[in-house]
Amino acid sequence: MSNRNLFTRRQALMLSSTAAASLALGGLPGWAFGASATAPSLPIPTLIEARNSEQVTLTLQKTRHRFGAGAAVAATGISSSYLGPVVRVRSGETVPFRAENRLDEETTLHWHGLLIPSHVDGGPHNTIKPGGVWTPELPVKQPPATTWFHPHPHGNTARQVYGGLAGMMIVSDGEDRERGLPQTYGVDDIPIVLQDKRFGRNGELVYQPTMMDLMHGFRGDTLLVNGAINPVANIPAGFVRLRLLNAANARNFDLRFSDRRPFFVVASDAGYLPEPVEVRRLVIAPAERYEILVNVTDGRPVDLVTAPDTLGGMGPGMMMQMGRLSSSAAETQTLMRLKPDPLLPAKVTRLPRTLTTLASPDIPSVVQWRTFVLNPMQGMNTAAMGGMSASGGATDQSGDHDHAAAAQMMSINGRPFSMGRVDVTTKLGTSEIWEIVSAAMAHPFHMHGASFRILSNNGRKPRAEQSGWKDVILVEDQAEILVRFDSPAPPKMPFMYHCHILEHEDHGMMGQFAVV
Ligand code: C2O
Ligand code: CU
Ligand code: CU
């Protein structure tokens, strides 16, 4: 039997389970798989090589995009119909960008993971008016890493990112061939942007969070990879590098391969691990990046799948209240298929050994210890509570009503975010230990303009794949991180630290720090 037959059979199975689910739940997007028996190929974003101080233009725009087999629907994209290009920058170069806002609302463009000064960071203070242009020059100077960019307007980040405004940025030092890493863009070095969405009856993107959605973070029942549903990537039958980015608003993906083959983590958010770390599953929280190597020298097709997100709940029973989501969210779901193609030359057929050197966290250098408690409930008033308990089957209208009540219900250390308040001031060139405490549910904590090492998470030493440099940490309970402050941020233009569940961020679970 050919692979194609196998695939068709699998699609047919999926179609029938989707149909069954629609019957049971009163309408999942049947259009998503449509009548088409062929899976889409994995979309590979255009690669922009930023070289020799040439300006890179990124246009934030309203578009129409085809997500599934149905018609094109309203979306947004960055110089693209959905999501953005991949921009590759060289460490040591200063890259002039031109961000054009062709939306009809204010936005910003934040460089998530770049260690650059705050005035070019693109946080909520660097607003771009509708029709406006922002031209920051980014002095890139940091170890190679997979980073990304997305809007960060005050109170409106979740909706803009959900609509499609996000792209990947690769910081390179040009040494990957020497490291023995796959480095042919789109062939054996592939950007993988993971998201979950809700689609309406006509295939339109739906974003109308109820109070319950705000509490959990907005989750969808349909998974996208680079904007496509269940795509197939034709790859050479060697080692393939996947640059994984979780660009979902709130969902954690619990990744593994359908045949349970091991794979190798080579980098986390802010740089390489000393050597490949063998795993069979990998949890990737919102905004996290991991680079993995997958061995497909056996020539067999394999699916990248995710187990249910068990970290999204606020306790037993809450998942059930998520209504139609509870069924699909309770099963393993397929993200995409890797299909080795014998006609593509495999350039990397061995696992690299050493990628970088990594000193242990420099604890003696620490000058300060601070604690941050992330709380989604604090500040919530009784009206909002009433809205929440009634929202099991909330209509869109009550969703809007809840939204207003929820505006600033979330907090860090009891204080909801305020643009005019600097919460923390640190000293440039120093290190601090930050203790992060999660209340009510797991929160992915992120900092701008700094990267950190995990000292402990849930009272345990970090797993090997989490022991390198990072800028996001999923905190289930309590964690300690050692943060380096090497990028300046005057009090008038502070950096952000926040929960990267975007609904939490927008509703107050964010603070500001200056680095002076
Ligand atoms: Cu992904 Cu404040 O950012
Ligand atoms: Cu960021
Ligand atoms: Cu949160």
Do 319 and 203 reside in the same domain of the chain? yes
The SS3 assignment for 477 reads: coil
Burial of 255 (0-12, 13-18, 19+ CB in 10 A): buried
- The number of the ligand 1 atom at minimal distance from the alpha carbon of 472 is 1
Report CA-CA distances (Å) from 223 to 95, 364, 403.
Answer: 33, 44, 25
User: Is any atom of ligand 1 closer than 6 Å to the C-beta of 241?
Assistant: no
Structural domain includes residue 480: yes
Structural domain includes residue 37: no
Structural domain includes residue 487: yes
Nearest-ligand number for the alpha carbon of 115: 2
Closest C-alpha residue for ligand 1 atom 1: 112
Do 427 and 466 reside in the same domain of the chain? yes
Strands 289-295 and 263-268 turn out to be antiparallel
Do 183 and 323 reside in the same domain of the chain? yes
All residues with CB under 5 Å from ion ligand 2: 112, 448
Span from the CA of 380 to the centroid of ligand 3 (angstroms):
14
Structural domain includes residue 351: no
AA letter at 55: Q
The SS3 assignment for 192 reads: strand
Span from the CA of 306 to the centroid of ligand 2 (angstroms):
25
Do 201 and 327 reside in the same domain of the chain? yes
Flag whether pLDDT at 288 surpasses 90: yes
CATH number at residue 258: 2.60.40.420
Pick from 182, 478, 113: nearest CA to 344? 182
From 175, 205, 221, the end of a domain falls on: 175
C-alpha span between 108 and 122 (Å, rounded): 6
Do 320 and 374 reside in the same domain of the chain? no
Closest C-alpha residue for ligand 1 atom 3: 112
The SS3 assignment for 364 reads: helix
What is the mean pLDDT of the segment spanning 406-413?
84
What is the pLDDT, as a whole number, of residue 7? 32
Structural domain includes residue 354: no
What is the pLDDT, as a whole number, of residue 283? 97
Whole-model pTM? 0.88
Flag whether pLDDT at 378 surpasses 70: no
Q: Please, where are the H alpha helices in 207-254?
A: 211-216
Structural domain includes residue 11: no
Structural domain includes residue 493: yes
Query: How many domains, the chain?
Result: 3
Structural domain includes residue 154: yes
Do 253 and 386 reside in the same domain of the chain? no
Do 441 and 311 reside in the same domain of the chain? no
pLDDT digits (tens, 9 = 90+) for 90-120: 999 999 999 999 999 999 999 999 999 999 9
What is the pLDDT, as a whole number, of residue 330? 67
What is the pLDDT, as a whole number, of residue 38? 81
Do 283 and 196 reside in the same domain of the chain? yes
Do 231 and 256 reside in the same domain of the chain? yes
CA dihedral 271→231→57→110, nearest 10 degrees, is -50
Strand partners, 60: 78, 101
C-alpha span between 15 and 25 (Å, rounded): 15
- The number of the ligand 1 atom at minimal distance from the alpha carbon of 498 is 2
What is the pLDDT, as a whole number, of residue 59? 98
User: Is any atom of ligand 1 closer than 6 Å to the C-beta of 125?
Assistant: no
Residue 108 structural domain: 47-175
Do 332 and 391 reside in the same domain of the chain? no
User: Is any atom of ligand 1 closer than 6 Å to the C-beta of 289?
Assistant: no
- Give me 401's structure tokens: 């009503």
pLDDT digits (tens, 9 = 90+) for 223-255: 999 999 999 999 999 999 999 999 999 999 999
Do 505 and 367 reside in the same domain of the chain? yes
From 136, 151, 175, the end of a domain falls on: 175
Do 156 and 210 reside in the same domain of the chain? no
**CB within 8 Å of 492: residues ≥ 6 apart:** none
From 155, 175, 195, the end of a domain falls on: 175
What is the pLDDT, as a whole number, of residue 401? 41
What is the pLDDT, as a whole number, of residue 328? 52
- The number of the ligand 1 atom at minimal distance from the alpha carbon of 505 is 2
pLDDT digits (tens, 9 = 90+) for 17-60: 333 333 333 333 444 444 345 899 999 999 999 987 899 999 99
What is the pLDDT, as a whole number, of residue 35? 39
Span from the CA of 446 to the centroid of ligand 2 (angstroms):
7
- C-beta of residue 247 within 8 angstroms of C-beta of residue 148: yes
